[in-house]
Amino acid sequence: MRCHACGAEMTCRLGEHHYTESGLDSVFLADVELWECLCGEKAVGIPALPELHRVIGEALARKPALLTGPEIRFLRKNLGLASKDFADLLGVDKATVSRWENGKQVPDRPTDRFIRLVYAAHKGISLEWLMAQFPEISGEQEPSLPLRVPRSFWSRGEGTGAACRS
């Protein structure tokens, strides 16, 4: 791969990437291609993004604490919905969704569960699977524990790292 900044050939290795691009602080991807150039530019090879986001969304649906603002925003964006459309779907005001996502208000447990169920229904997650995995949600918001997602969980052979050798 050539560097987009200087045009030099970049080197590659397999490693772990803190996936803050998701909007979540707790997601780490294992065995992804990490590209580096002598000029200081860096790039990450992340194949199968929709599948990765499905895995993250399912992990959030199973989280045993109330969803945080960034987690609600991730689920909404992963559904491809604008704030207004998400609010209409949930039967709340757009300002309420904004307050949830910005951490100014915390949804109560029934609303939190409803958000998860709406997400699951729109993503085709079976109700049986979800109910078997569904946690008893505590009444407190807590950050997610670090979620380490190996490439094998979401890439199905795409971007196998053949260009990289660690």
Same domain, 18 and 76: no
> To 10 degrees, the CA torsion angle through 105, 109, 111, 114?
140
Answer yes or no: is 112 within a domain: yes
Report the C-alpha gap between 166 and 162 in whole angstroms.
10
Q: What pLDDT shows up at residue 154?
A: 75
Answer yes or no: is 21 within a domain: yes
Answer yes or no: is 39 within a domain: yes
Dig out the tokens for 5 from the structure. 């900044």
**Maximum Cα interatomic distance, the chain, rounded to a whole number of Å:** 54
Q: What pLDDT shows up at residue 67?
A: 93
Which domain range does residue 11 map to?
A: 1-48+144-159
Phi and psi, residue 118, nearest 5° = -60, -45
Q: What pLDDT shows up at residue 129?
A: 74
Q: What pLDDT shows up at residue 155?
A: 75
Report the C-alpha gap between 166 and 164 in whole angstroms.
6
Same domain, 112 and 134: yes
Q: What pLDDT shows up at residue 165?
A: 54
- Cα–Cα distance list, 93 to 87, 99, 103, 135, 154 (Å): 6, 10, 16, 27, 34
Same domain, 102 and 130: yes
Q: What pLDDT shows up at residue 13?
A: 95
Q: What pLDDT shows up at residue 161?
A: 53
Looking at the structure of the chain, the number of domains it has is 2
Same domain, 89 and 126: yes
Same domain, 103 and 132: yes
Q: What pLDDT shows up at residue 141?
A: 64
Answer yes or no: is 81 within a domain: yes
Q: Name the DSSP letter for residue 161.
A: S
Answer yes or no: is 90 within a domain: yes
- Regions of the chain where pLDDT drops below 50: 166
Q: What is the CATH number of the domain that holds 70?
A: 1.10.260.40
